[in-house]
Amino acid sequence: MPQEQKVRQLVRKIVYRTLGISDSGSRRSRPIVSELDIRDLPPGSTFEVPPGAILTPLARQVAMDRSIKLTEGSPAASPTAAKMTGPSPARPSQQGEPIAIGADHGGYAMKQMLIDVLESAGYTVIDCGTDSTDSVDYPDFALAVAQLVSQGKAARGVIIDGAGIGSCMAANKVPGVRAAMCYDQATAHNSREHNNANVLTLGAGLLGDNLARQILETWLKIDFAGGRHARRVDKITEIEKRYLK
């Protein structure tokens, strides 16, 4: 058996076991799209994912790294017969668009670095602090950023603390905010395309500067896909409204 076929069988076994899906002959197998299907495609091309296929996290990451757009294909599409087209341009940076950014002491250095990234891309930066590495409480800065986004004074927000988790929790308490903690380009892409996230949280203790920059740039350039995702985001909003009464 060829080595690649062995790898594909192993990937299928691991994915099915992780998801609790039976791979027996009693039910139709779902196709698996792995990094093997993505890695040799031309950068900037488009890959049609077969309906019902399982896309592995590594496949999504490889697609992000190579700027390959993943789309839902027709029922006849398959991983080995992907339709490829030219690059799909992302939305360019909006000159002057206000972006609020804040951090606690653990995220201060990364905040300063990302401010430079934002300003270089043409954004108007609203710096909500902190202004040093002196110990502070992350909810204060998460709230400051989230309020600006909720009030429409900032188009989007970015918050950095040690792990990104606490700031995400705090920001999501503010009505109208959909904060997402992202740890790679794939989660940044998904949070925007599927969830219409308007606040990004990052963990300075978990990410290096280069990866944080890539996550931010990806998160800023991806637009919300709408469609079926809009219905699901609307349901999130309805849950929020239910508890505001």
Q: Mind telling me the catalytic residues? A: 194
| Contact indicator for 157, 148 with CB cutoff of 8 Å | yes
Q: Which residue has the tokens 């990004």?
A: 200
Whole-number Å distance between alpha carbons of 43 and 34 = 17
SS (H, E, C) the chain: CCHHHHHHHHHHHHHHHHHCCCCCCCCCCCCEECHHHHCCCCCCCEEEECCCCEECHHHHHHHHHCCCEEEECCCCCCHHHCCCCCCCCCCCCCCCCEEEEEECHHHHHHHHHHHHHHHHCCCEEEECCCCCCCCCCHHHHHHHHHHHHHCCCCCEEEEEECCCHHHHHHHCCCCCCCEEECCCHHHHHHHHHCCCCCEEEEECCCCCHHHHHHHHHHHHHCCCCCCHHHHHHHHHHHHHHHCCC
Q: How far is CA 203 from CA 61, 102, 161, 215, 244, in A?
A: 19, 12, 5, 11, 29
